[in-house]
Amino acid sequence: METKKAKRIILCLCLVTMISFIFTGCSDKDDPKPNRVSMKFTLTVTGANLDDQIDFAVGGGNHDASQYGSPTWKVNGQSQGNETTILIDEKKFAGSTKTYIVETINPLDFGSLSVSYSNAEGGGPITISYKAEIGGKVETNVENLVVAVGQSENKNFAYQGK
């Protein structure tokens, strides 16, 4: 159990560090204005139990930090307040809901999706699907990935308006 917590802490720290590097810069006079885009992430997991580790972290923002203080994301249609990062883990997928849709309330300059999974010993296979739609176009689409017992992986994706 301690390893799962340590992995989650490291995952969140990496995501926060990545976002903080994106926010820093020298001068906005030289930088072209990015295109803000809507983002939608569809995350589905079946077969997970509380002994497994499933983490989806969705984050995003604007270069001028204009999203702060106002709702950024909604999950399954419900506003999440002014959270810039949404974490959905195995506890959520072990319940009755197997699909979560995370989408922007207002368009953003950039976003990220971090996917981490580990199928613990003794459980059955887990099936994972995730899709990222950026500006209405599918950028990442993994369907029905079967995760065998003992298998694990981490993936990180970055998105921005074009």
pLDDT at residue 153 tops 80: yes
How far apart are alpha carbons 12 and 157 in whole angstroms? 14
How many domains does the chain contain in total? 1
Q: Which two tokens stand for residue 68?
A: 């702060």
pLDDT digits (tens, 9 = 90+) for 20-72: 555 555 555 555 666 899 999 999 999 988 889 999 999 998 888 777 778 88
- CA–CA gap between residue 149 and residue 56 (Å, rounded): 19
Cα separation of 15 and 21, whole Å?
10
**Sequence-separated (6 or more) residues with CB below 8 Å from residue 80:** 71, 72, 73, 74, 86
CATH code, 48: 2.60.60.60
For residue 12, the enclosing domain spans 2-24+33-160
